[in-house]
């Protein structure tokens, strides 16, 4: 119920169990919840402790955001208590997909209960589902509710991966010579890719990695039975492709990003809040160090929530960072997180030799806090969409090492926009020490770096406008919420029919 005693529209949000999906979808839940909607965020027991603080903070701000904790489905090979890709070894990622698929049964059972016991809370009028949770379409049909897809990548990424997936599945992928691939199916205009600009799996579909093969059908945009699409981007950043997706699906496309806490755009709220996981470094220690650095002089190094570099890759990158003489904050994901970490991943004596100009975080970094600090001038990243959007909308250019999926597309977009430069590629790539030094010098010290920062600052300004009053993303959140209110009204009118 809302404060005026009227029922509020209720939305269920289904995220794929990976931090790169949970993080933006939790933020989306808070955002749509702030429009006087009730939101049930679906998860499983082992993930609850990670999200509880976020939920409590939203509740304290009067936002009706609840966790809907479904029992963990039994899946062969899923290590106990590891219900998200970041805590699961890569060889078990298939079991995370299987678990996500099997959540349909407890979700449908919960839905059934909502319709039986209506006095508890209004049953959802809509399920917002992650592209990797496509079974939500069947559930929505079964319970005659609406469903809206959340595609966790940008509008260009979603359009191009849809095109690639369809072309591969229909065996119409077009190659031009040895080194060029052209995507044209379901795109506003053909896009040519060089070998290093697209997922290697797309080059030789017959030798595809099993996970890519499994995911491929999920990358197709299916508009049948779906009432619209929500995107973590903003109109001014990708207007052509937002428009294209609207034409392709024939449905509303609400670009509501960037999905960052409003405190990063001058709004109220706590910048130290946990995002995804508790940070493995005390915020005051980190801030004190960053405060002591020169403006735009530090590179932040991180490769997202899943990628763990091998010893060889870590050592090569360490040598590159050391040789560059630049200052850095580097978050290293290894088997044992915590303050001692796995120092054998680093060249001997590295930590001692770089202690005056580098901070190593073993485990989870408070990424937004770092990227929003004025001392940070560049981000060395794997170009995951969340990281790209966070960096650009906080005004920081990127030195990229794209590894999987749409990360290559993100890298290419950034190069075109003049806010990114590539230094390595592919999950098996080993950074070249000289190249690391050269790219970092360019981004942090040369005129090129200044130009890139100016271009990124423009994105930051656009993003701030988009999420502010009268901005495009804010209007889209309001548009989505008003659609939910219409659905509730229709349900109420139908149920009052004689
Ligand atoms: N992240 C973070 N601290 C870390 C690593 C990642 O806060 O140490 C967050 C980052 O801010 C982003 C998400 O985790 O929101 C990673 O998403 P992205 O799409 O960049 O990559 P993925 O993890 O999906 O590969």
Q: What is the 3-state secondary structure (H, E, C) of the chain?
A: CCCCCCCCCEEEEECCCCHHHHHHHHHHHHHHHCCCCEEEEEECHHHHHHHHHHHHHHHHCCCCEEEEECCCCCCCCCCCCCCCHHHCCHHHHHHHHHHHHHCHHHHHHHHHHHHHCCCCCCCCCEEEEEHHHCCHHHHHHHCCCEEEEEECCCHHHHHHHHHHHHHHHCCCCEEECCCEEEECCCCCCCEEEEHHHCCHHHHCHHHCCHHHHHHHHHHCCCCCCCCEEEECCCCCCCHHHHHHHHHHHCCCEEECCCCCCHHHHCCCCCCCCCECECCCCCHHHHHHHHHCCCCCCEEEEECCCCCCCCHHHHHHHHHHHHHHCCEEEEEECCCCCCCCCCHHHCCCCHHHHCCCCEEEEECCCCHHHHHCCCCEEEEEECCCHHHHHHHHHCCCCEEECCCCCCHHHHHHHHHHHCCEEECCCCCCCCCCHHHHHHHHHHHHCCHHHHHHHHHHHHHHHHHHHHHCCCCHHHHHHHHHHHHHHHHHHHHHHHHCCC
pLDDT for 459 equals 97
Looking up tokens 């917002």 gives: 128
Distance 361 CA to ligand 1 centre (A): 14
| Residue environment code for 259-280, b if the CB has 16+ CB neighbours within 10 A, otherwise e | bbbeebbeeeeeeeebbbbebb
Q: In this structure, what token pair is assigned to residue 336?
A: 């044992």
Distance 224 CA to ligand 1 centre (A): 31
Q: Please identify, by atom number, the ligand 1 atom nearest to the C-alpha of residue 86.
A: 23
Q: Please identify, by atom number, the ligand 1 atom nearest to the C-alpha of residue 276.
A: 7
Residue nearest to atom 25 of ligand 1 (CA): 304
In terms of Cα–Cα distance, which of 263, 265, 324, 264 is closest to 297? Answer: 324
pLDDT for 498 equals 62
Instruction: Encode the chain (498 residues) as per-residue pLDDT tens digits.
Output: 554 556 899 999 999 999 999 999 999 999 999 999 999 999 999 999 989 999 999 999 999 999 999 999 999 888 888 888 888 887 888 889 999 999 999 999 999 999 988 655 689 999 999 999 999 999 999 999 999 999 999 999 999 999 999 999 999 988 888 889 999 999 999 999 888 788 888 888 888 888 888 889 999 999 999 999 999 999 999 999 999 999 999 999 999 999 999 999 988 888 877 888 889 999 999 999 999 999 999 999 999 998 999 999 999 999 999 999 999 999 998 765 455 567 789 999 999 999 999 999 999 999 999 999 999 999 999 999 999 999 999 999 999 999 988 899 999 999 999 999 999 998 899 999 999 999 999 999 889 999 999 999 999 999 999 999 999 999 999 999 999 999 999 999 988 766
Q: Report the residue among 386, 390, 400 best suited for mutation to probe ligand 1: largest number of ligand atoms under 8 A from its CB.
A: 386
Distance 390 CA to ligand 1 centre (A): 9
Query: Do 10-152+221-259+469-495 and 268-464 show the same overall fold?
Result: yes
Catalytic residues: 21, 130
Q: Please identify, by atom number, the ligand 1 atom nearest to the C-alpha of residue 275.
A: 7
Distance 367 CA to ligand 1 centre (A): 8
Domain boundaries defined on the chain: 10-152+221-259+469-495, 268-464
Distance CA 242, CA 159 (A): 9
pLDDT for 30 equals 97
Q: Please identify, by atom number, the ligand 1 atom nearest to the C-alpha of residue 24.
A: 15
- Is CATH 3.40.50.2000 the classification given to domain 268-464? yes
Q: In this structure, what token pair is assigned to residue 427?
A: 């999950």
Distance 382 CA to ligand 1 centre (A): 10
Task: Check residue 150 and give left, alpha or beta (phi > 0: left; psi -120 to 50: alpha).
Answer: beta
C-alpha dihedral sign at 53, 257, 369, 329: positive
CATH architecture classification, 10-152+221-259+469-495: 3-Layer(aba) Sandwich (3.40)
pTM of this structure: 0.95
User: What lines the ligand 1 site, CB under 6 Å?
Assistant: 19-20, 23, 275-276, 302, 304-306, 331, 364-365, 367, 384-387, 390
Residue nearest to atom 11 of ligand 1 (CA): 367
């Amino acid at each position: 119920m809302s404060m005026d005693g009227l029922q509020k529209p209720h939305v269920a949000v289904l995220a794929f169990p990976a931090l790169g999906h949970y993080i933006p979808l939790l933020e989306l839940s808070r955002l749509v919840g702030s429009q006087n909607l009730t939101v049930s965020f679906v998860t499983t027991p082992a993930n609850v402790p990670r999200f509880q603080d976020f939920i409590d903070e939203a509740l304290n701000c009067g936002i009706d955001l609840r966790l809907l904790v479904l029992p963990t489905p039994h899946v062969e090979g899923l290590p106990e208590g590891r219900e998200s890709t970041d805590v699961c070894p890569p060889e078990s990622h298939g079991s995370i997909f299987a678990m996500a698929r099997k959540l349909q049964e407890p979700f449908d059972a919960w839905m059934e209960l909502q319709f039986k016991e209506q006095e508890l809370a209004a049953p959802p009028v809509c399920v917002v589902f992650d592209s990797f949770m496509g079974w939500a379409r069947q559930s929505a049909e079964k319970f005659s509710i609406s469903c809206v897809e959340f595609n966790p990548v940008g509008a260009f990424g979603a359009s191009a991966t849809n095109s690639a997936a369809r072309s591969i599945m229909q065996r119409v992928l077009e190659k031009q010579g040895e080194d060029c691939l052209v995507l044209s199916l379901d795109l506003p205009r053909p896009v040519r890719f060089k070998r290093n600009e697209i997922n290697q799996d797309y080059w030789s579909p017959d030798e595809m990695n099993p996970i890519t093969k499994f995911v491929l059908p999920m990358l197709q945009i299916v508009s049948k039975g779906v009432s619209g699409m929500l995107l973590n981007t903003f109109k001014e950043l990708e207007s052509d492709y937002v428009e294209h997706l609207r034409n392709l699906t024939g449905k509303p496309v609400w670009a509501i990003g960037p999905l960052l806490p409003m405190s990063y755009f001058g709004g109220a709220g706590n910048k130290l809040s946990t995002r995804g996981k508790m940070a493995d470094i005390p915020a005051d220690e980190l801030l004190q160090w960053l405060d002591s650095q020169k403006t735009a002089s530090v590179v932040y190094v991180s490769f997202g929530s899943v990628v763990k570099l091998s010893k060889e890759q870590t050592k090569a990158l360490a040598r590159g960072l050391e040789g560059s003489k630049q200052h850095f904050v580097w978050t290293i994901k290894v088997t044992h997180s915590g303050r001692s970490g796995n120092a054998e991943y680093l060249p001997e004596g590295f930590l001692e030799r770089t202690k005056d100009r580098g901070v190593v975080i073993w485990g989870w970094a408070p990424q937004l806090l770092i990227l929003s600090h004025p001392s940070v001038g560049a981000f060395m990243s794997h170009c995951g969409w969340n990281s790209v959007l966070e960096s650009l909308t906080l005004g920081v250019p990127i030195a990229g090492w794209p590894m999987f999926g749409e990360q290559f597309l993100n890298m290419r977009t950034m190069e075109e926009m003049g806010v990114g430069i590539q230094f390595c590629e592919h999950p098996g790539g080993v950074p070249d020490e000289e190249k690391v030094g050269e790219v970092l010098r360019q981004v942090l010290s040369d005129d090129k770096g200044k130009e890139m920062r100016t271009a990124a600052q423009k994105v930051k300004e656009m993003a701030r406008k988009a999420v502010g009053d009268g901005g495009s993303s804010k209007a889209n959140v309001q548009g989505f919420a008003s659609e939910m209110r219409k659905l509730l009204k229709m349900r109420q009118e139908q149920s009052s029919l004689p």
